[in-house]
Amino acid sequence: MSDNPLLRDAPYPPFDAIRPEHAEPAIDQVLAENRRRVAELAGQVRPTWASLVVPLEAIEERLERTWAPVSHLNAVMNSEAWREAYNRCLPKLTDYATELGQNEALYRAFRALREGEAYPRLEPAGQRLVDNALRDFRLSGVELAGPERARFRAIQEELARLGTRFEENLLDATQAWKRRASAEELAGLPETALALARRYAEREGVDGYLLTLEMPCYLAVMGHARSRALRREVYEAYVTRASDRGPHAGRFDNGPVMERILALRHEAARLLGFASYAELSLATKMASSVEEVLGFLRELARHSRPAAERELAELAAFARERDGLERLEAWDIAYYAERMREERLGLAEEALRPYFPLPRVLEGMFEVVRRLFGITVRPRAGVPVWHPDVSFHEIVDEDGTVLGGFWLDPYARPHKRGGAWMDECRARLRRDGAVQTPLAFLTCNFTPPVQGRPALLTHDEVLTLFHEFGHGLHHLLTRIDWPSVGGIRGVPWDAVELPSQFLENWCWEAEALALISGHYETGEPLPRALLERLRAARNFHAGLQMVRQLEFALFDMRLHAEYDPARGGRVYEILEAVREEVAVVRPPAFNRFAHGFSHIFAGGYGAGYYSYKWAEVLAADAYSAFEEAGVFDAATGRRFRREILEQGGAREPMALFVAFRGRPPRVEPLLRHSGIEPVQEQPQ
């Protein structure tokens, strides 16, 4: 198998050589070798850090290193061949992971290490690794008896398959819908969107314009199409994807998949002694209980819902005055919000695009992190890529040390999963006296270059890029040599969004905007008037945005906390109850949002979606340190790098936050940054 590119010990995965047929043989070989090595390691009488943890970290990282390119290519170059290869490997990996987690001999070895004399002398990262390992053994069912252990293992395998099926159904449903449109129907769309629709048509070999449900097209129609009928049609197609409603009703239906996922998660949690999957999920997070999470979300809702109600009433009045619209529907909100922002704030999102060409944004973003963290980001040629649009960059420290690198895959295209994300390719690892530098994937779905122009981003897309790069820095700047607690690994899910949301703040600062903006034709920076309008619009509809996220988070937590096997998932019953409590926008009955909620059903956020808001509190308060010291204050930036980015999961996130900020986090900066006035407690 030495000719298998996935098994080469090369500096970078040879993406130019990796094919679907390489996946299963490579995984089979690595799993077989790992199993033999685990059996040797688990049999130790007096395990030490060097004899147990160091070799185990190395073999687990080799497996991750082998699988990461396969998983990534399945997401960004999806095809029947890649899908089949991925799905053949997935149960084998799940089975291995469960087997490892239920390995009693290995569990005893870690317990012996924890109870031994050497444990107190381990560095904090080492102690946390051992403690996390013991916790994860228990959460993997190591203490279960025979039949229950076998059942838990079967559940984990089925859940892995179901998560993949959910994602595939959603991708297939998104790709299945296409609609030809006339120029008249597309009145109001900006030229960038029209050029994209023409490009879609050319791609499909048809004349005129073609609409799809890829995000750049969907957002353009919802925000700019004057035709209300077209907006409704596209909205319905989008919000009924992979469901029992809409233009492809029942064809890719995720309904049964959701029900089965919820049932199996609940059963697994009960086997481990938890009352619900929500409790199981929180066993590895900062938040201590379901009640704490619900209280946190409801407290934010108490402050933000009054603002959201005012904003929606103002928008409805605006639509009525402008166009005589008697009832504001879900497919009207983005359109009239954009018109209102244009008229009242003098700011059109599309007017900003020419000032945010992707090459300039990247150059400016790299300068921002250079000033903050003392690192240089530079392109590197000759590194294998999987598509011509992909580029590779490496991160270099002030002393010239290469700290890591990442691939940037920026544009939407067919057979590429929607959304934006950062994922690991390789982790930092010390082995044989040398350090393996980390590698990452940075993936977005921006509108590609059209008509000879560079890709022009909206300001929202600039925020997305900064967000994902923040995740990337967390992975790439780690100083922890052990993958289990380095980078983003070992970081509780409700703290892992801190660096990503933190970095977004520079997209609003005048000093940073001067770096990341420049007209694609003239190089002219964002004019002062536009800059001031952009900053004034920062909190436009902040209340509506806040309660929307709170709706998702409450729905997710309640869905998993209140599951009753006798009653089933009650997905839309619970969603409706949550909307009654916090939402101000009530979507139509055909809306099937949950059927496409891949974050919680396929993306690792099950009973954890609240993490975005939880970490946003941390991020806003962390940023307030720069508001006090200066947005490019080097000392504060280096302290954030040292205490947060370099530490990964080596210590409790609250301890890291306090080390940076000097105190526990406060919610006030988040409300202030959102332009939301705290609601005062009423006297009794």
Q: Would strands 178-181 and 439-446 be described as parallel, antiparallel, or unpaired? A: unpaired
What are 484's two structure tokens? 């289990």
| Placement of tokens 């096997």 in the chain | 565
Helices (H), 243-289: 255-271, 277-282
Q: In terms of Cα–Cα distance, which of 428, 371, 386 is closest to 405?
A: 428
d(CA 21, CA 26): 9
Q: How deeply is 645 buried, as exposed, middle or buried, from its count of CB atoms within 10 A (0-12, 13-18, 19+)?
A: buried
> 285, 492 in Cβ contact below 8 A?
yes
Indicate if 394 belongs to the active site.
no
d(CA 421, CA 418): 9
d(CA 527, CA 125): 48
- Please provide the distance, in angstroms rounded to a whole number, between the alpha carbons at the two ends of the chain: 74
What are 160's two structure tokens? 């892995």
Q: In terms of Cα–Cα distance, which of 34, 106, 41, 38 is closest to 67?
A: 34
Q: In terms of Cα–Cα distance, which of 95, 641, 673, 186 is closest to 369?
A: 641
> 390, 416 in Cβ contact below 8 A?
no
d(CA 94, CA 100): 10
Coil, strand or helix: which one is 147?
A: helix
Q: In terms of Cα–Cα distance, which of 626, 619, 625 is closest to 368?
A: 626
Catalytically annotated residue among 311, 394, 468, 497: 468
DSSP state of 564: B
Coil, strand or helix: which one is 410?
A: strand
Count Cβ atoms below 10 Å from residue 395 Cβ, excluding itself: 24
Single-letter residue type at 298: R
Distance of CA 464 to the CA centre of its chain: 10
d(CA 554, CA 548): 10
DSSP state of 432: T
Coil, strand or helix: which one is 127?
A: helix
Q: What DSSP string runs through 470-512?
A: HHHHHHHS---S-GGGSTTTTS-TTTTTHHHHHHGGGGG-HHH
Single-letter residue type at 142: V
Coil, strand or helix: which one is 357?
A: strand
Angle at 44 between CA 41 and CA 47, to 5 degrees: 90
The residues that are catalytic are 468
